[in-house]
């Protein structure tokens, strides 16, 4: 199986933190005594360890994890369990992930987000004889819902979205509502900040618990706090990083990871080290 690249480079993380804290290059330079031209080089992806470590602290980032990302020295361990499959589809100059979850006992299944093309997912559904009854949306950005109408034509598939972030022809639910996929339990947690009402779905009943997080958390990064950077940080801490370390994190971009690995390697959450 090919290794899936991490979604963000160190300069992407730096840029998200600078935008999220509303910290200009000039102000960051005054705080850290790192020259503006050196910060500009970091923003352009030119790695220099000493200045990167100095700006990390002022941005609330873990310096060791940020340097680790710049050196490309860590990758989450591959995860394969029965009942979970990730699909990667292209969108513009990046890729987006969707997930198929099924109960191996009943063969009832659900899709989580759609990516830009659901053909590979449908092929697996057909090959395994799965009965897909539900489509759960983490948020309604176009790259995550583009194939929704196609998935709903697989059969009697009901799409669901959190009520504060409606999607066409989707049933709205409330934060905390619970669902079933065969014998598997699905609980819902509000993890907003990247979008107005992003939701994380926690699935129990397989070999390990699973959290489908959309763009709330990536391997060694997180989605940009487009609506609220602080809310994104806070809801991630409260709703994702309180889950068991063994919980598999399924992000909207990049490889699958785990709560324990992100506590150890994600630069946005230094307090969890």
116 — phi, psi (to 5°)? -100, -10
pLDDT of amino acid 1: 54
Residues of the domain holding 41: 10-70
| Residue 31 and residue 64 share a domain | yes
| Residue 62 and residue 109 share a domain | no
Last residue of a domain, one of 23, 40, 70: 70
| Residue 104 and residue 60 share a domain | no
| Residue 177 and residue 101 share a domain | yes
Which CATH number covers residue 54? 1.10.260.40
The C-alpha atoms of residue 63 and residue 46 are separated, in whole angstroms, by 16
Q: What is the pLDDT of residues 172-225, one digit of tens each?
A: 999 999 999 999 999 999 999 999 999 999 999 999 999 999 999 999 999 999
Answer yes or no: is 94 within a domain: yes
Q: What is the pLDDT of residues 223-262, one digit of tens each?
A: 999 999 999 999 999 999 999 999 999 999 999 999 999 9
What whole-number percentage of the chain has pLDDT above 90? 97
Answer yes or no: is 27 within a domain: yes
pLDDT of amino acid 3: 87
| Residue 96 and residue 227 share a domain | yes
Which CATH number covers residue 168? 3.60.15.10
| Residue 57 and residue 152 share a domain | no
Q: What CA–CA distances, in Å, run from 152 to 64, 145, 249?
A: 45, 11, 25
Are the C-beta atoms of 242 and 271 separated by less than 8 Å? Answer: no
User: What is the number of structural domains in the chain?
Assistant: 2
The C-alpha atoms of residue 105 and residue 83 are separated, in whole angstroms, by 10
- Mapping DSSP onto H, E and C, the string for the chain reads CCCCCCCCCHHHHHHHHHHHCCCCHHHHHHHHCCCHHHHHHHHCCCCCHHHHHHHHHHCCCCHHHHHHHHCCCCCCCCCCCCCEEEEEEEECCEEEEEEEEECCCCCEEEEECCCCCCHHHHHHHHHHCCEEEEEECCCCCHHHHCCHHHHHHHCCCEEEEECCCCCCCCEEECCCCEEEECCEEEEEEECCCCCCCCEEEEEECCCCCEEEEECCCECCECCCCCCCHHHHHHHHHHHHCCCCCCCEEEECCCCCEEHHHHHHHCCCCHHHC
The Cβ of residue 228 has, within 10 Å, a number of other Cβ atoms equal to 15
| Residue 138 and residue 58 share a domain | no
| Residue 209 and residue 144 share a domain | yes
Last residue of a domain, one of 70, 97, 118: 70
Angle ∠(219,209,139) on CA atoms, nearest 5: 55
Answer yes or no: is 78 within a domain: no
Instruction: Round the average pLDDT of the chain to a whole number and report it.
Output: 97
Q: What is the pLDDT of residues 154-182, one digit of tens each?
A: 999 999 999 999 999 999 999 999 999 99
| Residue 120 and residue 22 share a domain | no
Largest CA distance in the chain: 61
Structure tokens given for 121:
């997912």
| Residue 88 and residue 165 share a domain | yes
Q: What is the pLDDT of residues 71-97, one digit of tens each?
A: 999 999 999 999 999 999 999 989 999
Relative to beta strand 171-173, strand 158-162 is parallel
């Amino acid at each position: 199986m090919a290794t899936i690249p991490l979604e963000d480079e160190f300069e992407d993380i730096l840029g998200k933190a600078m935008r999220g804290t509303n910290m200009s290059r000039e102000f960051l330079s005054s705080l850290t005594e790192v020259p503006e031209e050196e910060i500009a080089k970091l923003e352009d992806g030119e790695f220099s360890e000493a200045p990167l470590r100095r700006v990390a602290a002022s941005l609330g980032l873990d310096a060791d994890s940020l340097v680790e990302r710049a050196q490309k020295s860590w990758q989450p361990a591959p995860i394969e369990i029965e009942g979970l499959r990730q699909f990667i589809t292209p969108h513009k100059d990046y890729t987006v992930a969707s997930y198929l979850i099924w109960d191996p006992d009943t063969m009832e299944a659900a899709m989580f987000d759609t990516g830009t093309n659901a053909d590979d997912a449908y092929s697996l559904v057909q090959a395994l004889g799965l009965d897909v009854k539900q489509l759960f949306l983490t948020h309604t950005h176009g790259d995550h819902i583009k194939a929704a109408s196609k998935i709903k034509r697989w059969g009697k598939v009901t799409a669901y979205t959190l009520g504060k972030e409606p999607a066409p022809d989707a049933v709205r639910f409330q934060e905390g509502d619970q669902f079933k996929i065969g014998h598997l339990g699905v609980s819902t947690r509000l993890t907003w900040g990247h979008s107005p009402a992003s939701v994380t779905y926690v699935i129990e009943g397989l070999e390990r618990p699973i959290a489908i997080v959309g763009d709330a958390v990536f391997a060694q990064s997180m989605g940009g706090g487009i609506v609220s950077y602080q809310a994104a940080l806070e809801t991630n801490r409260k709703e994702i990083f309180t889950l068991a370390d063994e919980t598999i994190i399924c992000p909207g971009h990049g490889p699958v990871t785990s709560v324990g690995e992100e506590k150890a390697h994600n630069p946005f959450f230094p307090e969890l080290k």
